[in-house]
């Protein structure tokens, strides 16, 4: 079948185009729902011929004929041997990946390319990278593969072969439907706002449930945990951000303009204020750490900790009114607490944005 498709057998092309479109449409829907945008999509049809040619031109040097096929002897480099051209002379994924990376380098001369797939392909990419480096030294030190863990449900590993599967778009739909059951109770939101909030929170819940886990480890997806407004979840962080916005809206409605912090002695800070204040300078270091280690979960942990500290502060102290204090003293402390609220909200919004998660103004 592959041979006939590669030779552009007209009796198969219509069916191939139709089924190919099914696949593309599904992934486009998935990407749109998650807010994913690609600059360029590469297709096997544009790399298989040149990939095959690269392999054929390097038989006897980089590649070797073996039992009618063409292989790369990864065993020489502590890896394993892989077939790049079959006995029917069709290129395998290996051959196509070789030219795909060369094409990417030509279009975007990169210093570092990061490829992410399931960890089942860890050994595969070690072979591909080694073959590429031998073909062209320009690739040395410029290729990195991150093999992320697999997703598991309570019923076990998601497996298309065993039938234990749930589609990505379906998972998001189910999550959004559950969020709608909660949002529908909000009398202060109109129908359109409820739909928008459910979509933003539902997508955020699924994304965050994956991102908060070390990417190299398997993920045990717990549905109820992912949509909880308490604990380490996307909705908890989004709710905390929405809470900061609610405080600021109440303040803006009560006075003509926002006051600036003046002459507030930080020696008068209580433990909740100090704990929150000390968290702010860490944000940039946490982002750098997450980047250097290719681990979004580092940022997730920081944002969760920040949200907890803000909610502890919010529940323990009044922000906008405190009748136990003199008016002058109260205004200074109010303005300082408003600054803490603004800063917390901005950091949460920036952090969620880095994770590809929207921060709703209301929840």
Task: Judge whether 43 and 5 are in contact, CB under 8 Å.
Answer: no
Q: Which pLDDT does position 161 carry in this prediction? A: 54
Closest CA to 168 of 203, 201, 124, 119: 203
CA distance 29 to 50: 30
- Provide Rg for the chain, Cα atoms: 27
**Shared-domain flag, residues 184 and 204:** yes
Q: Which pLDDT does position 258 carry in this prediction? A: 45
Q: Is residue 2 part of a domain?
A: yes
Beta partners for residue 69, in sequence order: 66
pLDDT along the chain (363 residues), means of 10: 84 92 89 88 92 97 97 97 95 96 96 95 98 97 94 60 65 85 78 88 92 89 82 94 93 55 66 95 98 96 98 91 65 86 96 96 86
Q: Is residue 362 part of a domain?
A: no
| Alpha-carbon distances of 89 from 57, 92, 132, 292, rounded to whole Å | 13, 9, 20, 41
**Shared-domain flag, residues 331 and 312:** yes
Q: Is residue 363 part of a domain?
A: no
Q: Is residue 284 part of a domain?
A: yes
**Shared-domain flag, residues 164 and 304:** yes
| Alpha-carbon distances of 147 from 100, 159, 194, 289, 293, rounded to whole Å | 19, 17, 37, 19, 13
CA distance 233 to 33: 19
CATH code: domain of residue 258:
1.10.730.10
Element (H, E) at 139: none
CA distance 355 to 353: 5
**Shared-domain flag, residues 53 and 31:** no
The tokens describing 89, both together, are 């002379």
The tokens describing 273, both together, are 């204020």
Q: Is residue 30 part of a domain?
A: yes
Give the domain-ending residue among 131, 148, 165.
148
Greatest distance between any 2 Cα atoms in the chain = 90
**Shared-domain flag, residues 61 and 194:** no
**Shared-domain flag, residues 185 and 44:** no
CA distance 81 to 131: 11
**Global confidence as pTM:** 0.85
**Shared-domain flag, residues 329 and 200:** yes
- A 10 A CB-CB count for 303 gives 27
Q: Is residue 176 part of a domain?
A: yes
Burial class (CB in 10 A: 0-12, 13-18, 19+), 231: exposed
Q: Is residue 361 part of a domain?
A: no
Give the domain-ending residue among 125, 148, 171.
148
What are the tens digits of pLDDT across the range 156-165?
555 555 555 6
For the packed helices 234-254 and 296-316, what is the interaxial angle rounded to 10 degrees? 40
Q: Which residue has the tokens 């750098």?
A: 288
| Alpha-carbon distances of 271 from 77, 241, 274, 279, rounded to whole Å | 57, 21, 5, 12
| Alpha-carbon distances of 294 from 56, 152, 305, rounded to whole Å | 36, 22, 20
**Shared-domain flag, residues 271 and 349:** yes
**Shared-domain flag, residues 143 and 238:** no
Closest CA to 131 of 106, 87, 101, 108: 101
Terminus-to-terminus CA distance in the chain, angstroms?
Answer: 52
Q: Which pLDDT does position 255 carry in this prediction? A: 46
Q: Which pLDDT does position 268 carry in this prediction? A: 74
CA distance 139 to 143: 7
Angle CA(6)–CA(133)–CA(293) in degrees, nearest 5? 105
Domain residues for 86?
39-148
Q: What DSSP string describes 51-100?
A: HHHHHHHTBTTTBEEETTEEEE-GGGGTS--EEEE-TT--B-HHHHHHHH
CA distance 307 to 238: 9
The tokens describing 56, both together, are 């054929």
How many domains does the chain divide into?
Answer: 3
**Shared-domain flag, residues 274 and 309:** yes
**Shared-domain flag, residues 273 and 336:** yes
CA distance 212 to 224: 15
**Shared-domain flag, residues 86 and 210:** no
Give the domain-ending residue among 108, 125, 148.
148
Q: Is residue 359 part of a domain?
A: no
Beta partners for residue 82, in sequence order: 72
């Amino acid at each position: 079948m592959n041979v006939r498709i590669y030779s552009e057998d007209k009796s198969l092309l219509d069916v191939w185009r139709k089924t190919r479109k099914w696949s593309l449409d599904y992934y486009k829907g998935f990407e749109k729902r998650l807010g994913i945008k690609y600059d360029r999509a590469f297709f096997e049809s544009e790399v298989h011929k040149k990939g095959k040619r690269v392999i054929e031109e390097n038989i006897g040097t980089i590649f070797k004929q073996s039992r009618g096929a063409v292989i790369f002897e990864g065993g020489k480099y502590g890896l394993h041997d892989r077939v790049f051209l079959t006995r029917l002379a069709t290129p395998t994924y290996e051959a196509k990946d070789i030219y795909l990376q060369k094409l990417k380098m030509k279009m975007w001369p990169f210093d570092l390319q990061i490829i992410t797939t399931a960890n089942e392909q860890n050994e595969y990419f070690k072979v591909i990278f080694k073959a590429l480096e031998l073909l062209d030294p320009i690739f040395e030190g410029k290729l990195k593969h991150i093999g992320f863990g697999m997703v598991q449900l309570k019923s076990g590993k998601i497996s298309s072969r065993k039938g234990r599967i749930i589609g990505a778009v379906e998972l998001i739909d189910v999550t959004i439907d559950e969020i709608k059951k909660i949002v529908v109770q909000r009398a202060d939101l109109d129908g359109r706002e409820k739909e928008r909030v459910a979509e933003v929170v539902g997508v955020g819940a699924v994304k965050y449930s994956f991102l908060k886990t070390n990417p190299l480890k398997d993920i045990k997806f717990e549905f109820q945990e992912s949509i909880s407004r308490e604990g380490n979840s996307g909705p908890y962080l989004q709710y905390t951000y929405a809470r900061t916005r609610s405080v600021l809206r109440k303040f803006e409605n009560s006075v003509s303009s926002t006051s600036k912090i003046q002459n507030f002695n930080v020696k008068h800070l209580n433990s909740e204020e100090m704990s929150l204040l000390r968290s702010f300078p860490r944000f940039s270091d946490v982002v750098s750490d997450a980047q250097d280690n290719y681990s979004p979960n580092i940022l997730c942990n920081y944002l969760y900790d920040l949200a907890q500290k803000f909610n502890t502060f919010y529940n323990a102290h009044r922000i906008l009114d405190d009748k136990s204090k003199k008016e002058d003293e109260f205004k200074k402390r109010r303005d300082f607490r408003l600054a803490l609220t603004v800063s917390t909200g901005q950091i949460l919004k920036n952090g969620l944005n880095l994770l590809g998660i929207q921060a709703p103004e209301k929840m």
